[in-house]
Amino acid sequence: MLVISGPSGSGKTTICKRLLEDPRVRFSVSATTRAPRPGEVDGRDYRFVSREEFKAMMAAGEFIEHADVYGNMYGTLRRPMEEALARGEVYLLEIDVQGALQLKTLGEPGIYVFIAPPDFDELRRRLTARKTESPEVLERRLQKAEDEWRERTKYDHIVVNDVVDHAVEKIKRIAGLD
């Protein structure tokens, strides 16, 4: 299991898309209660569910981890992970820092990689360029990024995403995909 996390705007999604070009890698499609962003597809990017459905899935033990992030619920589904690992594939999880550290605390075996922005000015630029959040939400994300930055030492590896190609190559080496 390859766990990729880091602050919002660090480039996790871009890096994961590149890693998924390798046929040995399977992506964890998390469940979430948040609304889809433009271009996102249910079942490919996330499994979009209502809060009630999510709570029922929690009660049924369908998640290996779950978290409330910015008022939305996110969870990693257990069955697809078990199936991919049984086939000998690299199971790629793109989850927030809270979820990654929850998995690590539970003793879930894997390679835990923290994706860091080059600096906080660049992170602000990336989040602003998205134009998907209000100024208030943007400030909350930046504050949370600072909190998440302090957690980076709990990871097996820290990869600074200054040049996407370099970050992807470094993660491939870490995961034995080179």
- Residue-wise pLDDT tens for the chain (178 aa)? 999 999 888 899 999 999 999 999 999 999 999 999 999 999 998 999 999 999 999 999 999 988 888 799 999 999 999 999 999 999 999 988 888 998 999 899 999 999 998 888 887 787 778 777 788 888 888 888 889 989 999 999 999 999 999 999 999 999 999 8
Parallel, antiparallel, or unpaired: how do β-strands 25-27 and 157-160 relate?
unpaired
Assign 127 to helix, strand or coil: helix
Please give the Cα distance from 101 to 60 (Å, whole number).
22
Domain holding 153: CATH number?
Answer: 3.40.50.300
The tally of domains found in the chain comes to: 1
- Which pLDDT belongs to residue 146? 85
- C-alpha dist (Å) from residue 155 to 3, 78, 120, 128, 166: 10, 22, 20, 27, 19
Domain span at residue 10?
A: 2-175
Question: Whole-angstrom Cα distance, residue 60 to residue 12?
Answer: 29
Inter-residue contact 3 to 176 (CB < 8 Å): no
- The residues facing 150 across adjacent strands are none
| Residue 49, strand partner residues | none
Q: Assess contact for 80 and 29: CB atoms under 8 A.
A: yes
In which residue are the tokens 């992030």 written?
69
Read off the pTM.
0.83
